[in-house]
Amino acid sequence: MGRYLWVAVLLLGFVPGVVRSTQTPDQPRFTQSVLATGLEHPWEVAWGPDGYLWVSERTGKRISRVNPVDGSTNVAVEIPEAFQSIAQDGVLGLALHPRLLQGTGEDYVYVALTYQEQGSPRLKVRRFSYDQDTRVLMAPVDVIASLPAHDDHLGGRLAIGPDDKLYLGIGDQGGNWLQNYCNPNKAQDLPVAADIEARDWATYEGKVLRLDLDGSIPSDNPSINGVRSHIWSYGHRNPQGLVFGRDGSLYASEHGPSTDDELNLIEPGGNYGWPWVAGYRDDQSYAYFNWSASRPEACGTLTFSTSETPASVPRAMESGWSHPDFKPPLQTLFTVPNDQDFRAQGGGTIAPSSLGIYTVRDGGIPGWADSLLVPGMIKGRMYRQALSADGRSAVGDPVELFRTANRYRDLAISPDGRTIYIATDNTGRTTGRDDEMTQELEHPGAIIQFTYDDE
């Protein structure tokens, strides 16, 4: 579409159900429309080998299949026993077996969900078998259970690598933060051999795990401090995006505190720094306040604040910590300046709940391969971060796309690379088109599609 025609479309107003998104002239143009509504907190959307979008619904407690042609939705399985009580728990990650519907008999779908165990929330990974005739997920088998879960920073993103291993991000459960400020942060804790022997996964808070498809510990997982466990990398705050590049590299996105959401290249045995470091080790707008270790005043006698910290709370500058396995991020979204007035200006974070990768070359969007795609919840937009040819570094700054008043939860890409599908939260805060905070979401509980307009 030529530039003048584009202006005309904007002036003539909106076609019902179809909105042209605002783009700067040198960016590719997209047509926005709503594919499906009525979803209950869709959490993962994945393009399936059957040409449908597979969707996990966090509070709906089910897995649905959405027809990308007409938006009609079929339920593949209900999971009523999932425990869902707060803003982050329920039916979470969804991963399709790479040979689903390929005739090998491996018609498996993996789901991460929270459940209650002796009155406490826990996370598990369940495998379903997909019956192609009835289009139903059946024969559930729990491949691992009793993983940490709480009321904040749950993680829950699931992915299957080209190595046929399951990867699962688990957050730090909010230790030393907000309502959990008196709970120690265990993102740096590592298991001892006896923990693994006893199948005690309590140290898995703030980790990226790598599991065999049956839930066991892969024999080639790293030995960290002399112990091999499910832990693939550690020192994470809340890693909720996991995606593989063409060469098998694993990328993760991670929520920062009030600054420094991260894009990371995940290396086995890597220490990603949290809670000693947020983003780069640059002493910028972040120091580690260890509320739970407050002495002599016990933490329980203190009132938590993100802006004022009592003297009894131990504090550490980032530069005071170092570790031989520390891995800085490829990019942050965004590192705010030291003089940021968080009360007046807010934080620099976008709340990246997921991560996609654009690798489509021929016929896809020119110039996009390879890029990471980062959906924002607190900022209703998606960012595209270009990668270097070897995929090991970020090139340039993140580019903003798709600004709307929605909380973008997850994304999927059509095989031809010309449509980006984005799942949206039903409720919550985001910045609207004018950058003001709002709770009035334009398309709650929906799949929005952005289709590339060729020139």
Using alpha carbons, select from 53, 47, 94 the residue that is nearest to residue 70. Answer: 53
Q: In Å, what is the CA distance from 296 to each residue of 133, 175, 178, 292?
A: 65, 20, 21, 12
Beta bridge partners of 424: 408
Nearest to Ca ion of 29, 186 (CB atom): 186
Instruction: Provide the minimum distance between the beta carbon of 238 and Ca ion in the complex, in angstroms, as a whole number.
Output: 11
Q: Is 272 in the site for Ca ion (CB under 5 A)?
A: yes
| The one catalytic residue among 41, 97, 150, 153 | 153
Query: Which tokens in the block code for residue 226?
Result: 């002399």
Instruction: Provide the minimum distance between the beta carbon of 267 and Ca ion in the complex, in angstroms, as a whole number.
Output: 12
Query: Which tokens in the block code for residue 240?
Result: 């909720």
Alpha-carbon span 270 to 221, nearest angstrom: 12
Cβ–Cβ < 8 Å for 337, 315? no
Q: Is 234 in the site for Ca ion (CB under 5 A)?
A: no
Nearest to Ca ion of 282, 442 (CB atom): 282
Instruction: Provide the minimum distance between the beta carbon of 326 and Ca ion in the complex, in angstroms, as a whole number.
Output: 8
Q: How buried is residue 63: exposed, middle or buried, by Cβ count under 10 Å (0-12/13-18/19+)?
A: buried
Here the contacts of 120-124 (C-beta below 8 Å, separation 24 or greater) are 121/83, 121/85, 121/89, 121/149, 121/150, 121/151, 122/146, 122/147, 122/148, 122/149, 123/92, 123/147, 123/148, 123/149, 123/154, 123/155, 123/156, 123/170
Nearest to Ca ion of 93, 279 (CB atom): 279
Q: Interacting stretch for Ca ion, rule CB under 5 A, among 269-277, 340-348, 405-413, 421-429?
A: 269-277
Q: Is 273 in the site for Ca ion (CB under 5 A)?
A: yes
Among 279, 352, 356, 398, binds Ca ion (CB under 5 A): 279
Q: Interacting stretch for Ca ion, rule CB under 5 A, among 18-26, 63-71, 146-154, 274-282?
A: 274-282
Residues 110-139 touching Ca ion, rule: CB under 5 A, are none
Instruction: Provide the minimum distance between the beta carbon of 259 and Ca ion in the complex, in angstroms, as a whole number.
Output: 7
Q: Is 325 in the site for Ca ion (CB under 5 A)?
A: no
Query: Which tokens in the block code for residue 436?
Result: 């003001």
Here the contacts of 308-314 (C-beta below 8 Å, separation 24 or greater) are 313/289, 314/289, 314/290
Identity of the amino acid at 333: L
Nearest to Ca ion of 59, 203 (CB atom): 203
Residues 430-449 touching Ca ion, rule: CB under 5 A, are none
Instruction: Provide the minimum distance between the beta carbon of 260 and Ca ion in the complex, in angstroms, as a whole number.
Output: 6
Identity of the amino acid at 379: K
Among 151, 195, 282, 453, binds Ca ion (CB under 5 A): 282
Q: Interacting stretch for Ca ion, rule CB under 5 A, among 23-31, 203-211, 267-275, 428-436?
A: 267-275
Cβ neighbours around 432 below 10 Å, total:
18
Instruction: Provide the minimum distance between the beta carbon of 263 and Ca ion in the complex, in angstroms, as a whole number.
Output: 10
Alpha-carbon span 439 to 380, nearest angstrom: 11
x/- string (CB under 5 A) for Ca ion, residues 285-314? Answer: -x----------------------------
Residues 369-388 touching Ca ion, rule: CB under 5 A, are none
Q: Is 257 in the site for Ca ion (CB under 5 A)?
A: no
Instruction: Provide the minimum distance between the beta carbon of 227 and Ca ion in the complex, in angstroms, as a whole number.
Output: 22
Q: How many residues bind Ca ion (CB under 5 A)?
A: 8
Q: Interacting stretch for Ca ion, rule CB under 5 A, among 105-113, 190-198, 282-290, 338-346?
A: 282-290
Cβ–Cβ < 8 Å for 355, 252? yes
Known catalytic residue: 153?
yes
Percentage helix, strand, coil, to 5, in the chain?
Answer: 5, 40, 55
Residues forming contacts to Ca ion in the complex (CB under 5 A) are 262, 272-273, 278-280, 282, 286
Catalytic residue positions, numbered: 153
